[in-house]
Amino acid sequence: MNISIIGGGAWGTTLGQTLHDNGHRVLIYDINPKAVEKINNHFHPFFDTILPDEVVATTSLKEVIDFSNYFILSVPTKAVRSVLKEINEVLNKPSVFINVSKGIEPQTLKRVSEIVEEEIDKKNLEGFVVLTGPSHAEEVILRKLTLLVSSSKDQKLSEQIQLIFSNEQYLRVYTSNDLIGCEVGGAVKNAIAVISGACTGLGLGENARAAVITRGIIEIIRVVEIMGGKKETAYGLTGIGDLIVTASSENSRNFTAGKKIGQGIPVDQIYAEQKQTIEGIRTIEAMYHLAKEYNVELPMINAAYDIIFNDLPVKEALQNLLSRDLKSEDF
């Protein structure tokens, strides 16, 4: 098959290699000419890896739209709506959108599937799938064992995407019928990973990390349920699986950004220094608004919001969390 990849960063380019491994032809689109040039010179834009010659890129959106009717969305979530608007202006055929970005729009609290439905004309929207799970691009590019989940309202489509991406050497894809649970888990785990990193930056240890991961999954479940997903999904690869890999890894941009927050580095400086996408800070903002709107208890996310957006010192935020009323370990 021909498959178009919108966003040639760490993840989009890596998935390009996987699709090539699986016998598909790919064309990657990116706004960054330097990234495109690197890919066309057979280098991964972020990793020290030589790409197959056939993984090629372009800065022309028209070219990538003409190339196929399967579009992988691998731009940061903040760019998804604008890039979809641009695609919609040119698109003239029914197409499938496969989202691999992990975030929720802070102003609207919309998931990417909802944004796609809003921005792509109905007649050209053949289907939507989310492909998500614990998957550092740094490992997938080296073809290290990884498990993912493909989820869609259309079971046949999630099975087709499962087949397209699965590779018996290193990548096994499961399907799920809980699109909302998969989308929300993938997004909110980034917020918890920032919090986990902040604990490390503050000098806390493994006990704190285990506490953040475990209570973090409770906060994820609360959001999954309020948004209409299934609690059980959060216990799988797209929830706890992705949370473990992100909240405990130096490979994670969210964990790394959190570490800097814990060291007292201002967020503006973190964004300026860290060139790659950090989804979790934006998701903390989204979750803070969601917690208010739906009266959901998200104590760690609220504390992170106060640190990042209200300049509350990290130590004070931690003290506030610890001095809350004592209670039983509810789920």
Ligand X SMILES: NC(=O)C1=CN([C@@H]2O[C@H](COP(=O)(O)OP(=O)(O)OC[C@H]3O[C@@H](n4cnc5c(N)ncnc54)[C@H](OP(=O)(O)O)[C@@H]3O)[C@@H](O)[C@H]2O)C=CC1
Closest distance to ligand X from the beta carbon of 326 (Å): 36
What whole-number distance in Å separates Cα of residue 219 and Cα of residue 222?
5
Q: Does 82 bind ligand X (CB under 6 A)?
A: yes
Q: Does 110 bind ligand 13P (CB under 6 A)?
A: no
- Which of 6, 15, 75, 193 is in the footprint of ligand 13P by CB under 6 A? 193
Closest distance to ligand 13P from the beta carbon of 216 (Å): 14
- Provide the residue type at 220 as one letter: I
What whole-number distance in Å separates Cα of residue 236 and Cα of residue 147?
11
Of the candidates 34, 110, 156, 189, the residue annotated as catalytic is 189
3-state SS class at 151: strand
The response to whether 254 counts as a known ligand-binding position is yes
Contact of residue 75 among ligand 13P, ligand X, none (CB under 5-8 Å per partner type): ligand X
Contact of residue 83 among ligand X, ligand 13P, none (CB under 5-8 Å per partner type): ligand X
Closest distance to ligand X from the beta carbon of 70 (Å): 17
DSSP character for 51?
A: P
- Give Cβ neighbours of residue 128 (< 8 Å, ≥ 6 apart): 96, 97, 98, 99, 113, 116, 117, 152, 153, 179
Q: Does 112 bind ligand 13P (CB under 6 A)?
A: no
179: left (phi over 0), alpha (psi -120 to 50) or beta: alpha
- Which of 119, 178, 183, 279 is in the footprint of ligand X by CB under 6 A? 279
Within 13 Å, how many C-alpha atoms sit on residue 30's CB side?
24
The total of other beta-carbon atoms located within 10 Å of residue 123's CB is 10
Q: Does 259 bind ligand X (CB under 6 A)?
A: no
Contact of residue 77 among ligand 13P, ligand X, none (CB under 5-8 Å per partner type): ligand X
Using CA atoms, how far residue 77 sits from 84, 110, 183, 280, in Å, is 11, 11, 12, 11
In contact, 134 and 146? CB cutoff 8 Å: yes
The yes-or-no answer on residue 156 being catalytic is no
What whole-number distance in Å separates Cα of residue 94 and Cα of residue 171?
28
What whole-number distance in Å separates Cα of residue 282 and Cα of residue 2?
33
Contact of residue 134 among ligand X, ligand 13P, none (CB under 5-8 Å per partner type): ligand 13P
The response to whether 181 counts as a known ligand-binding position is no
**Cβ closer to ligand 13P: 190 or 302?**
190
Q: Does 136 bind ligand X (CB under 6 A)?
A: yes
Closest distance to ligand X from the beta carbon of 102 (Å): 4
Contact of residue 229 among ligand X, ligand 13P, none (CB under 5-8 Å per partner type): none
What whole-number distance in Å separates Cα of residue 232 and Cα of residue 35?
39
List residues with catalytic annotation.
189
Binding residues for ligand X, per CB under 6 A? 7-12, 30-32, 35, 46, 74-77, 79, 82-83, 100-103, 135-137, 276-277, 279
